[in-house]
């Protein structure tokens, strides 16, 4: 059934940044097509069904086994009444069932909506209703917030639970995953759709309030693989690729649900990141390529004698992004492990990394690299004039993927306004101030707004301020990001108290616990400062630059 996605759920065509197809690979895709068929079925059809597609703990899942699992689950989803263009949420750590669900959802022509395992009940309900999801595939360990949000779901008909006791799952009115995934028919014809049909929605971590949906098309996994995968990672069939970023992040999705399969390579999954377990996984699976957030690299560097205790000899490419790596981390990693970290930059909106040091495999510490083949980038002034090397300006980019916000007309056109800001003369305005050197290496200067980047998460201060302001102790509050050696930045709350309340650790713990059901775990403040007044403009806006100045003075 077609037409389940109304035309106004996408921005008007005149606000779509140009999609340009610069690589010869971009012109080889069939139309209509199905990305699961291209990534999985064609690998099996080419005689590579016995290759390992996924490593997880002690499991080795071949391409043929993966294909059968996808087909059985896809048939099970169809039996539940899930149809073309229906949206299906995945709420799970990176485990085989989540990857299988992604491919199955897309293979039947539905739209996959991976969500962060850290989403709170409010965020989960918002995403379910905003995407108009008909089903949720949820890991049993993440059911708590889902159950708390359940009464607010407007369109969800089925909750499919991975793991747990079947009787307990059914008693809650949910469906055990194993029942849906054990459909007797192991054959499934892929539902081919237009190259530019919506097949994936990635929700940003909510820099200003609730998460925003970003639209990705059927062709996007191939575009990412044939660009970054081929020309930066230089993937070969014997590569073993992995990283800890959740599938809900563009970085995680590309790493565990797209790039490896295009080349018949293997992917290794890690459900929960711990530095020691990730080192052990690299050794166990013979990993050759990893994609890791700078925060995770810094945590891995804290493991004593890791270079002696783990065999990392198979590792040939280390990449990362999501926040600034920093020259110190680069040099410490290279000194201990003999490997460069090829930093890069991408966005959820554009689907993956489009600037990277891996482009030339010649890293410049402090730079996030050169343009990835298939894309174009510029540093411009506000009139759109290109700036010479060394000058700071707006960062704009274009390529085969582009920024499109889901349901831009909601909330009085809030995201339509955002789409208009992002669209810049046919290019994507990335939202950063940057500079470029003579060799085309790009350097981050600052965000155009007050974004906080902590452990790879993009965090807006307003939402945290709103949550804290509801506590009876808080008269006024302002939130900023402050430097942290491990996370990049911590969330710090400056608070002016009401009479009768005493600053201290006890109150800080009370404020953190108060916010737990209002915002995600990664947004909770980690530092506090109690002050007499929060600096504001005459019109009442918080002067965060003053808070940042206070922080610099305190640090010095």
Last residue of a domain, one of 399, 434, 469: 434
Closest CA to 349 of 233, 480, 207, 225: 207
Are residue 428 and residue 464 in the same domain, yes or no?
no
376 and 482 housed in the same domain = no
Residue 156 inside a domain? The answer is yes
- Do 463 and 345 fall into the same domain? no
Residue 2, in any domain of the structure: no
Rounded-to-integer distance, Cα 336 and Cα 349, Å: 35
For residue 400, the SS3 value is coil
The average confidence (pLDDT) of the chain is 94
Q: What is the mean pLDDT of residues 358-376?
A: 95
Least reliable range by pLDDT among 15-24, 446-455, 472-481, 501-510? 446-455
pLDDT at 294: 86
Residue 216 clears pLDDT 50, i.e. is over it:
yes
Domain count, the chain: 2
Residue 375 has pLDDT above 80, yes or no: yes
Q: What is the pLDDT of residues 279-294, one digit of tens each?
A: 999 999 999 999 998 8
Q: Which helix (H) or strand (E) holds 465?
A: helix 461-469
- 242 and 315 inside one domain: yes
| 188-209 average pLDDT score | 87
**pLDDT band at residue 453 using 50, 70 and 90 as cut-offs:** confident
| Cα–Cα separations (whole angstroms), residue 421 to 205, 334, 403, 414, 430 | 19, 39, 11, 11, 10
Does residue 446 fall inside a structural domain? no
In the predicted structure, residue 296 carries a pLDDT above the cut 80: yes
| CATH code (residue 477) | 3.30.300.30
462 is in which domain, residue-wise? 452-555
Nearest to 256 by CA among 279, 273, 277: 273
pLDDT at 2: 38
Name the pLDDT band for 449 (thresholds 50, 70, 90): low
8 pLDDT more than 60: yes
Whether residue 440 is contained in a domain is answered as no
Please give the average per-residue pLDDT across 12-24, as a whole number.
98
Q: Are residues 212 and 101 in the same domain?
A: yes
Residue 465 has pLDDT above 80, yes or no: yes
Higher pLDDT among residues 453 and 394, named by residue: 394
Q: pLDDT for 490-511, tens place per residue? A: 999 999 999 999 999 999 999 9
Share of the chain above pLDDT 70, in %: 97
Taking residues 196-225, what's their average pLDDT?
A: 89
Do residues 80 and 155 share a domain?
A: yes
Predicted local confidence at residue 462, as pLDDT:
77
Tally of CB atoms within 10 A around 45: 11
Q: Closest Cα to residue 88, out of 136, 21, 50?
A: 136
Mean pLDDT lowest among 15-24, 384-393, 541-550: 541-550
Backbone angles phi, psi at 163, to 5 degrees: 85, -175
Average pLDDT, integer, range 92-114: 98
Q: In the predicted model, what is the mean pLDDT of residues 16-41?
A: 98
Q: State yes or no: pLDDT of 43 exceeds 80.
A: yes
Dihedral (Cα; 384, 9, 19, 197), 10-degree rounding: 170
Task: Identify whether 441 is part of a domain.
Answer: no
Shared-domain flag, residues 19 and 127: yes
Statement: residue 322 has pLDDT above 80: no
């Amino acid at each position: 059934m077609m037409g389940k996605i109304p035309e106004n759920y996408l921005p008007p065509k005149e606000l779509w940044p140009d999609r340009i197809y610069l690589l010869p690979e971009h012109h080889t895709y069939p139309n209509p097509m199905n990305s699961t068929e291209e990534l999985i079925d064609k690998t099996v059809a080419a005689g590579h069904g016995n290759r390992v597609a996924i490593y997880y703990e002690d499991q080795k899942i071949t391409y043929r086994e993966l294909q059968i699992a996808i087909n059985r689950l896809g048939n099970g989803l169809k039996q539940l009444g899930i149809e073309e263009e229906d949206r299906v949420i995945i709420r799970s750590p990176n485990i085989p069932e989540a990857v299988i669900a992604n491919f199955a959802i897309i293979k039947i022509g539905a739209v996959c909506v991976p969500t962060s395992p850290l989403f709170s009940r409010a965020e989960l309900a918002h995403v379910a209703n905003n995407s108009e999801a008909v089903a949720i595939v949820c890991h049993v360990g993440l059911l708590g917030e889902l159950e708390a949000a359940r009464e607010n779901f407007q369109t969800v008909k089925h909750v499919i639970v991975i793991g747990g006791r079947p009787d307990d799952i059914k008693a809650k009115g949910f469906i055990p995953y194993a029942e849906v995934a054990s459909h007797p028919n192991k054959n499934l014809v892929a539902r081919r759709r237009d190259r530019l049909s919506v097949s994936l929605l990635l929700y940003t971590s909510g820099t200003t309030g609730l998460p925003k949906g970003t639209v990705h098309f059927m062709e996007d996994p191939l575009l990412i693989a044939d660009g970054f995968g081929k020309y930066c990672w230089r993937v070969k069939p014997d590569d073993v690729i992995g990283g800890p970023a959740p599938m809900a992040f563009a970085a995680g999705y590309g790493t565990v649900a797209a790039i490896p399969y295009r080349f018949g390579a293997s992917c290794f999954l890690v459900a929960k990141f711990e530095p020691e377990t990730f080192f052990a996984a690299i050794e166990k699976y013979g990993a050759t390529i990893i994609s890791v957030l700078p925060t995770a690299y810094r945590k891995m560097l804290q493991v004593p004698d890791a270079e002696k205790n783990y065999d990392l000899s198979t590792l040939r490419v280390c990449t990362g992004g999501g926040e600034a790596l920093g020259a110190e981390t680069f040099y410490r990693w290279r000194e201990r492990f003999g490997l460069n970290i090829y930093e890069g930059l991408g966005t959820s909106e554009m689907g993956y990394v489009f600037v990277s040091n891996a482009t030339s495999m010649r890293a410049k510490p402090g730079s996030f690299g050169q343009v990835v083949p298939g894309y174009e980038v510029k540093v411009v002034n506000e009139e759109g004039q290109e700036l010479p090397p060394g000058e700071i300006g707006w960062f704009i980019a274009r390529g085969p993927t582009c920024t499109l916000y889901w349901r831009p007309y909601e909330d009085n056109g809030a995201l339509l306004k955002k789409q208009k800001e992002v669209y810049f003369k046919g290019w994507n305005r990335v939202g950063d101030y940057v500079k470029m050197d003579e060799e085309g290496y790009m350097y981050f200067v600052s965000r155009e707004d007050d974004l906080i980047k902590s452990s790879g998460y993009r965090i807006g201060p307003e939402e945290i301020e709103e949550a804290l302001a509801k506590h009876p102790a808080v008269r006024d509050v302002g939130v900023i990001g402050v430097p942290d050696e491990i996370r990049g930045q911590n969330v710090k709350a400056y608070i002016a108290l009401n009479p009768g309340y005493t600053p201290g650790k006890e109150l800080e713990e009370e404020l953190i616990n108060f916010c737990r059901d209002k915002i995600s775990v990664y947004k909770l403040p980690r530092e506090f400062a109690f002050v007499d007044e929060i600096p504001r403009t005459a019109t009442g806006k918080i002067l965060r630059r003053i808070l940042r100045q206070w922080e610099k003075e305190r640090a010095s």
